Structure 1
Amino acid sequence: MPSLTVNVDHVATLRQARMGIEPEPVTAAHMAELAGATGIIVHLREDRRHIQDRDVELIRKTCNTRLHLEMAATEEMRSIALDIAPEIVCLVPEKRQELTTEGGLNCLGREGELADYLAPLHERGIRSSLFIDADPAQIEAAAATGTEFVEIHTGHYADAKDIRDRRKELASILEGIRVARSLGLKVNLGHGLNYRNVLAFRHVEGVSEYSIGHAIMSKAIFVGLDRAVRDMAAIIRTFAD
Structure 2
Amino acid sequence: MKTLPRLGVNIDHIATIRNARGGEHPDPVAGAYAAIQAGADGITAHLREDRRHMRDEDMTRLQMLCESQNIPLNMEMAATPDMLAIALNLKPKAICIVPERREERTTEGGLDVASGHNQIEPITRALKENGSRVSLFIEATEVQIRAAASTAAEVVEFHTGAYAHALDDGDQAKADAYIEAFKKSAKLADELGLEVHFGHGLTFDNVAAIAVIPECMELNIGHFIIGEAVFMGLEAAITEMRRVVTDARAS
Fold conserved between structures, TM > 0.5:
yes
Question: Which residue pairs with 1:187 in the alignment?
Answer: 196
Question: Which residue pairs with 1:93 in the alignment?
Answer: 99
- Indicate which of 139, 142, 157 corresponds to 1:151: 157
TM-score (norm. length: structure 1): 0.96
- 8 Å Cα contact 2:98/2:111 also seen in 1: yes
Pair 145,202 (structure 1): closer, same or farther in 2 beyond 3 Å: closer
- Indicate which of 26, 29, 33 corresponds to 1:30: 33
Question: Which residue pairs with 1:210 in the alignment?
Answer: 219
Question: Which residue pairs with 2:133 in the alignment?
Answer: 127
Q: CA deviation at 1:182?
A: 1.6
- Indicate which of 53, 56, 63 corresponds to 2:56: 53
Runs of 4+ deviating beyond 4 Å: none
- 8 Å Cα contact 2:112/2:138 also seen in 1: yes
Provide the aligned C-alpha RMSD in A.
Answer: 1.3
- Indicate which of 5, 13, 18 corresponds to 1:15: 18
- Residues 128-155 of structure 1, C-alpha deviation per residue, up to 9 Å, x if partnerless? 0000001111111111112100000000
Give the letter aligned to residue 154 of structure 2: E
Q: CA deviation at 1:239?
A: 4.9
Question: Which residue pairs with 1:177 in the alignment?
Answer: 186
Give the letter aligned to residue 84 of structure 2: R
Q: Distance in 1 between matches of 2:223 and 2:146?
A: 29
- Residues 177-211 of structure 1, C-alpha deviation per residue, up to 9 Å, x if partnerless? 11111211100000000011001134320111000
| Matches for 1:211-226 after TM superposition, within 5 Å | 211-226=220-235
Give the letter aligned to residue 158 of structure 1: A
Question: Which residue pairs with 2:73 in the alignment?
Answer: 67
Question: Which residue pairs with 1:237 in the alignment?
Answer: 246
Q: Distance in 2 between matches of 1:98 and 1:186?
A: 28
1:200 aligns with 2:209: yes
TM-score (norm. length: structure 2): 0.93
Q: Distance in 1 between matches of 2:48 and 2:119?
A: 21
Q: CA deviation at 1:100?
A: 0.6
Question: Which residue pairs with 1:84 in the alignment?
Answer: 90
- Residues 10-52 of structure 1, C-alpha deviation per residue, up to 9 Å, x if partnerless? 0000000111211110011001001110000000000000111
Question: Which residue pairs with 2:147 in the alignment?
Answer: 141
Q: CA deviation at 1:110?
A: 3.0
Structure 2 residue runs without a partner (length 5+): none
Q: Percent identity?
A: 43
- 8 Å Cα contact 1:195/1:232 also seen in 2: yes
Q: Distance in 1 between matches of 2:129 and 2:210?
A: 34
Q: Distance in 1 between matches of 2:227 and 2:136?
A: 26
Q: Distance in 2 between matches of 1:59 and 1:147?
A: 23
**How many residue pairs align between the two structures?**
241
